[in-house]
Amino acid sequence: MGVRLAVVGATGAVGELMRQVLEERRFPVESIRFLASSKSANRSIHFAGKEYTVQEVTPEAFQGVQIVLSSTPASISRHWSLIAAQMGAIVIDNSSAWRMDPEVPLVVPEVNAKDLQSIPKGIIANPNCSTIQMVVALKPLYQISRIKRVIVATYQASSGKGAKGVNELDAQIRALGQNGPIPVATAHAGTLAGNVLTMDWKLGDDGYTEEEIKMIKETQKIMGDEQIRVSPTCARVAVRSGHSEAINVEFETPVSVEQAKNALRQAPGVVLVEENNPTGLQPLHVAGQDHTFVGRIRQDPSCAHALNLWVVADNLRKGAATNAVQIAQELLKIKKWA
């Protein structure tokens, strides 16, 4: 016995990883459908030793499906995720379309799996990649002392823009190496090779990018505490895969470095990297892994109630595909489908 699944956006970078993670975790599958736009329909893809033909997404494609894993742009999700839910499926959606809907749980299983007990619209939102790894690191610390404030600076990989972003970065690096003209940027806001971009997301009227606003609002919702103050600065860096974050956490009461380390050692989904292992905190070395890596834990010399952390994770796996599959695994415990 298994679950009847559908993967929407199956031919994209995250959709491909979803297939891979489902196989790696031996998710119990009774049947599976791979859905995409008309442009990608009729392609052949492999899953669990079998070949499947990608189908065009239609209402009928969701007939009898129990769980949908969806990775599409928000505008597409607003249409098809509702239809899939109306057809009786529970949709785990990777876009930004539903994250702040009060009737849609926004879930990181290591942090707030309990929120899956109520799914009024039949839709579960997968959070933003940069938020996911941060709250995985924050949750065990919050359990020691309530968090008052978080200041975070992100160093986000080109793959956050998908395959087109990585291909563009690679082309720019090749051009630099050959002293040739650098291709005009189309995926990113400017030349990324040898550079840092702080305006690689849509800018709001308040001077904050949409990525930064996501980190503020999503953190409060996932942690279940709207009083947590979050001050983010997000930047895109010339890294292919893996987001890094410098995080300063202020608590209501003092938390020692050793207390923080002990909590993180025992926390689900976290790998604590000690100071004598510097390579473990580089995005290059966490690519392809599902954990959130935390290290460089230091007392803030300017605030007795604050700590500094360095957090790294694979943005396409834990930041997207893996988290979605983990949500589906949590649903199995509640729904008892398989």
Catalytic residues: 129, 243
Strand spans (E) along 22-163: 29-36, 44-47, 50-53, 55-56, 67-70, 90-93, 123-125, 147-156
Instruction: Give me the sign of the Cα torsion angle 179, 181, 186, 188.
Output: positive
Enter the DSSP assignment of 270: E
Strand, helix or coil for residue 285: helix
Number of neighbours of residue 143 by Cβ within 10 angstroms: 10
Q: Which candidate, 63, 46, 64, places its Cα nearest to that of 10?
A: 46
CB-side neighbour CA atoms (13 Å) of 144: 24
CA distance 96 to 320: 12
Q: Which candidate, 166, 154, 168, 167, places its Cα nearest to that of 197?
A: 154
